[in-house]
Chain A
Amino acid sequence: MDQLSRTFAALADPTRRDLVARLTAGDASVAELAAPYAMSLQAVSKHLSVLERAGLVTKRRDAQRRPVHLEAEVLAPMTDWLEVHRRRAEERYQRLDAVLNELAADEAYPATAASRPSPDNQTLGSRE
């Protein structure tokens, strides 16, 4: 797997995305990071190892708690890259919103017309 794919792989897991999101607020120890999850400390450490191998986080060896640090400059191009695509899709879908709004309006009008008495409705009614 090439480096870029490794970075993608690291971010593909929801727990790891959550860990990264929380690390954007600042460094945190493994125990702090594990606290909100219903998984073992070991499981969280495993997720952090994947992030570490992808270069997304480092462990500060100088500090006693060895806090986990987000390497934001590695993440930035990654997220920018996908974010541009996300924004493009969102723009496209906002245009689709507008088209769908018109469709809904178009459909509402004939529905109103059909609810008025018409020869067809009367025919149907007379059958009962």
Chain B
Amino acid sequence: MTVRYDEAAIEADPTVPVIRITRDFAATPAQLLRAHTDPDLYARWCGPNDLTTRIDHWDARSGGSWAFSNLRNGEEYSFHGCFHEISPSRIVQTFTFDGWPDGVSLETMTFTDLGDGRTRLSAQSLVDSFEGRDQWLLSGMEVGINEGYAKLDRLLADGAVPDAVPGTEE
């Protein structure tokens, strides 16, 4: 059975602090590479819908580096990193949010040609700790999600989760 990823699929690895996202595109690997390395193209799709992306520095080659800022109502969030490897089939780069300069993740984007003008993008983010990953996952979350997370924390802290014996909970 051929698995298709017409919509993004996400997976949080339990053994290493990694998040994987997989998505298929109606494009060639070369077009995907271009959309990731051409600064004008990249700025058009990389940021959330309600933010503008300003490219501050862009040197898309193996050993090069990048920096951009997201702008919203006078607020600025800036990010920077290095391009470790750029090749037709993958991009390896580092990623740091300048608001948390100690944190760095290693991003690997792999382009797999599926034929018929389709390409699978496998994006992997490796952060330096599980805490880092969870922080990153939680960053910019809507209040509702934070509340959901807090609710999970409470459930876990209350011991309602691991050793619950049905019939004994309130």
Q: Does A76 contact B (CB under 8 A)?
A: yes
Interface residues of B, dominant DSSP: mixed
Q: Does B74 contact A (CB under 8 A)?
A: no
Note all chain A residues with C-beta closer than 8 A to B48.
Answer: 88, 91-92
Q: Tell whether, in the assembled complex, residue B12 and residue A97 are in contact, meaning their CB atoms are under 8 Å apart.
A: no
Q: Assign chain B's interface to a size class.
A: 35 or more
| Residue of B134, B142, B161 touching A74 (CB-CB under 8 A) | B161
Q: Does B41 contact A (CB under 8 A)?
A: yes
A126 to chain B minimum Cβ distance, whole angstroms, is: 31
Q: Does A90 contact B (CB under 8 A)?
A: yes
Interface residues of A in 77-94 (CB under 8 A from B): 77-78, 80-82, 84-86, 88-93
B77-85, B95-103, B144-152 - the one binding chain A: B144-152
Residue of A nearest to B10 (CB): A86
B12, B137, B149, B156: most-surrounded residue (chain A CB, <10 A): B12
Q: Tell whether, in the assembled complex, residue A96 and residue B152 are in contact, meaning their CB atoms are under 8 Å apart.
A: no
Q: Does A53 contact B (CB under 8 A)?
A: yes
Q: Tell whether, in the assembled complex, residue B41 and residue A82 are in contact, meaning their CB atoms are under 8 Å apart.
A: no
Given A3-B156, A3-B162, A80-B148, the answer on whether A8 and B12 have CB atoms closer than 8 Å is: yes
Q: Does B8 contact A (CB under 8 A)?
A: yes
CA distance A62 to B166 in the complex (A): 8
Note all chain A residues with C-beta closer than 8 A to B161.
Answer: 3, 54-55, 71, 74
Note all chain A residues with C-beta closer than 8 A to B130.
Answer: 2, 5
Q: Tell whether, in the assembled complex, residue B31 and residue A100 are in contact, meaning their CB atoms are under 8 Å apart.
A: yes
CA distance A92 to B138 in the complex (A): 18
Q: Tell whether, in the assembled complex, residue B45 and residue A4 are in contact, meaning their CB atoms are under 8 Å apart.
A: no
Query: 1/0 contact trace for B42-62 toward A, CB 8 Å?
Result: 001110110000000000000
Q: Tell whether, in the assembled complex, residue B8 and residue A4 are in contact, meaning their CB atoms are under 8 Å apart.
A: no
Q: Does B23 contact A (CB under 8 A)?
A: yes
Q: Does A9 contact B (CB under 8 A)?
A: yes
| Residue of A62, A84, A97, A100 touching B145 (CB-CB under 8 A) | A84
Q: Does A22 contact B (CB under 8 A)?
A: no
CA distance A103 to B37 in the complex (A): 13
Q: Tell whether, in the assembled complex, residue A5 and residue B14 are in contact, meaning their CB atoms are under 8 Å apart.
A: yes
Note all chain A residues with C-beta closer than 8 A to B21.
Answer: 86, 89
| Residue of A2, A7, A11, A96 touching B25 (CB-CB under 8 A) | A96
CA distance A15 to B34 in the complex (A): 37
Note all chain A residues with C-beta closer than 8 A to B41.
Answer: 99, 103
CA distance A86 to B72 in the complex (A): 22
List 6 additional contacts besides A58-B164, A90-B7; criterion CB under 8 Å. A78-B152, A80-B148, A85-B137, A101-B26, A103-B27, A103-B34
Q: Top 4 nearest A-B pairs by Cβ distance? A: A55-B161, A9-B14, A77-B148, A95-B45
